[in-house]
Amino acid sequence: MRNSTTRRALGAVASAALAGALALTASGSVQAAPKATTPGFLVAKDMPQAAGNFWTAGSVTAGAPESDPFCLEKVLPAKGTTWHRQFGTDLDTSGVQVSVQAASDADAKKLAASAEASVAACAADWLRATPGGTASWDDYGRIAVEEGARVIGVATSIPDSGPGVHLLGIGRDGNTVTIVTWGQLGNLSHAPVAAFKKTTTTAVNKLR
């Protein structure tokens, strides 16, 4: 009788211990889930340099910018992990870098393609929304870096106002897409295309 009772007691203790171990294992699995790692970002000296134009860089901030970058309205995903960094000068030049970590390489590829399509259509879309305005764009081609990058320029102008020119670089490394913008008063002839291509290349390389 005593042995039977003892065996039952030991069995109950063993069951409780096993349940506890399983609970700890499950808890450990949840805690061990990989966290999103902030990708590398451009610094001020990586932006296109010009005489008398000194760049400053804000902090790398989680989330998308308060306002979507020009030509990329409604492109940045509501889901996914996003960071951004603002850049500015003491003159009229500014820029931003936005990096999005997608759920998979395939999702990142779709996001990059969507961003490229939006920028390529930007001048025409802007003209439809801005009666009396003028706009032009130029595709400066692809860059052989990681999974690839592309640079496009867009210039816009409205009567009685200074023209604006923008360069946008879209690149991808694995499941991370980065978008870099540069903008100032002027037209496409004022855009530092070669320097901005280097900036875009650096941005993609820093995603590693």
Mean pLDDT of the chain: 86
Distance CA 44, CA 189 (A): 23
Beta-carbon contacts of residue 139 (< 8 Å; ≥ 6 apart): 120, 150, 152
> What are the distances in angstroms from CA 73 to CA 67, 69, 119, 182, 206?
8, 7, 10, 16, 25
Distance CA 30, CA 38 (A): 21
Model pTM above 0.85: no
State pLDDT tens for residues 22-77. Answer: 444 444 444 443 467 899 999 999 999 887 779 999 999 999 999 999 999 989 88
Top-confidence residue, 138 or 49: 138
Beta-carbon contacts of residue 11 (< 8 Å; ≥ 6 apart): none
H or E segment at 4?
helix 2-31
Contact of 108 with 177, CB cutoff 8 Å: yes
Distance CA 57, CA 35 (A): 26
Residue 2: the pLDDT is: 44
State pLDDT tens for residues 81-100. Answer: 999 999 999 888 999 999 99
